[in-house]
A and B are shown apart, each in its own frame.
Chain A
């Protein structure tokens, strides 16, 4: 386990030693800031009777603002997370440092886990940036903290699942850009699959089930549904397993 920790630590160090971490965190903070402003502004306008109906509406901060904000954040993450995971294996394969890892007394799974935890750390720091915005809400308003926490738990699971899948694609190529593009493509599918909820039939419900964004909805409403938790956990498990398999096949590919 100490080994995994060492790998994860190195991963985080290398994120922050290159511009990647700063660019990604900065970009995320900027766009999240805009989303936050946009939803807050809408919330306030409606509350003051400047909304659609003309009359002031009674609103709930969680259900009428934060829920939508977190939902949009998920879509933002579909674009941001490929930037976090693209280099994790691809760069090691390109530069040959993978040879150091694969000839060290580490199991393939430990290597994958180290990479995963490293990316997860960066992701959590990214989410931590948004605590500042939430603090503003708590200062001026009275959001329901349990529902908000549930929403964040969902976003955390959602991001972890995406990271695990991003690792798989990063381990398939030595080119970061290729890894990022394939990852983004796969993520967009996982998002747009949600459109299938308007179709009829078994295939539609299956495709909807696969959608990663769809499983986040209950969380953003403040509800933990066991099925959603199972979906994300098995997603993460599958992602880590496939990364491990891909790493193993790297040895055979030579």
Chain B
């Protein structure tokens, strides 16, 4: 549905996007993740035909955005970073205007507007002036505007920015429900958002994709050593012995004391790479119980997307990353 190959965007000497390539399948939700200035907004502006790429091609819904801009734009719904609203218009008039310039046929306009209003929970404010709406409502009108012509492709630049937690959840649920019917590209710098809403993630840094794949595959790909957390009741020096001598455990350190007396203690163990974590856990549990210590908790620390993200974003030229 979206086919981007080798797009580069230069502003004078500054290269905002550098040879970016990716593709998004029909019905998929792709999340752009990256620090500020990574090129997320520029990439989206190129995809929507707002600015042309210096080099490279972007094909959206079968139409090249540069050579067939009108056909492509008809199939794109776009929510820019700040919703493009006219403060003097009412919500309804605004959506009516947008539906006209997006070529929604006259007979379908009313139904389309009503549906967008409902999807974005805006029916109550349809006659209010855009200039009088709160930040959250403005963002939702921006979303309704992107949906009004039933585009095949939705491009959402930080769709949850500035919303309160309840609205964030509603918006994520809405985006989730849009996937399938629509192909969605969204950008964010909130990691849990990507996990919750996206099928696939592309991590951008300094204008290039530094990692991409499903959330799980990224985690797998970037998993280094596994870590275990064990909480044991017993005197610390004694307990450390069986932990350290366990096969497959490279190191064990006391992490956190849970009781005032100091005899309930959490330890953090590093498991050697290649060692199946479950074997280590099974043997370790048996060993601790046999030795008569109270085993209160034993679990594997999950590698989170956050760790992957931080590693990927700060791996190249550390110190320059904002």
* Interface positions of A (Cβ within 8 A of B): 2-3, 6-7, 9-10, 13-14, 17-18, 95-107, 251-252, 254
Contact = CB atoms under 8 A, between A and B. Distances in A.
Given A7-B101, A104-B101, A96 B82 contact: yes
A139 B88 CA distance: 41
Contact of A96 (B71, B76, B80, B89): B80
B52 A251 contact: yes
Contact of B97 (A6, A99, A107, A251): A6
A3 B88 contact: no
Q: What is the interface residue range for chain B against chain A?
A: 20 to 34
Contact of B51 (A17, A96, A252): A252
A145 to B, nearest CB: 39
What are the 9 A-B residue pairs with the smallest beta carbon separation, nearest first? Answer: A17-B88, A6-B100, A100-B84, A97-B84, A105-B73, A103-B48, A105-B70, A104-B101, A105-B74
Contact of A252 (B52, B88, B98): B52
B124 interface: no
Interface in B53-85: 69-71, 73-74, 76, 78, 80, 82, 84-85
A99 B42 CA distance: 13
| Dominant SS among interface residues on chain A | helix
A96 B98 CA distance: 15
B3 interface: no
B170 interface: no
Contacts of B82: 96
Interface of B: 11, 45, 48-52, 69-71, 73-74, 76, 78, 80, 82, 84-89, 93, 97-98, 100-103, 145
B89 A17 contact: yes
Given A13-B88, A103-B73, 4 more contacts: A17-B88, A96-B80, A105-B74, A254-B45
Contacts of A106: 70, 101
Nearest to A16: B88
A16 to B, nearest CB: 9
A102 B49 contact: yes
The residue among B71, B82, B145 with the most chain A CB atoms within 10 A of its own CB is: B82
A13 B89 CA distance: 8
Contacts of A105: 69-71, 73-74, 101-103
B37 to A, nearest CB: 14
Nearest to A248: B52
Contacts of B11: 254
A251 B42 CA distance: 12
A103 B101 CA distance: 10
Given A6-B97, A254-B11, A96 B84 contact: yes
A97 B86 contact: yes
Contacts of B89: 10, 13-14, 17
20 contacts: A2-B100, A6-B100, A7-B101, A13-B88, A14-B88, A17-B88, A96-B84, A97-B84, A97-B86, A99-B45, A99-B50, A99-B80, A100-B78, A100-B98, A100-B145, A103-B76, A105-B101, A105-B102, A251-B50, A251-B52
Contact of B70 (A98, A102, A107): A107
Nearest to B101: A104
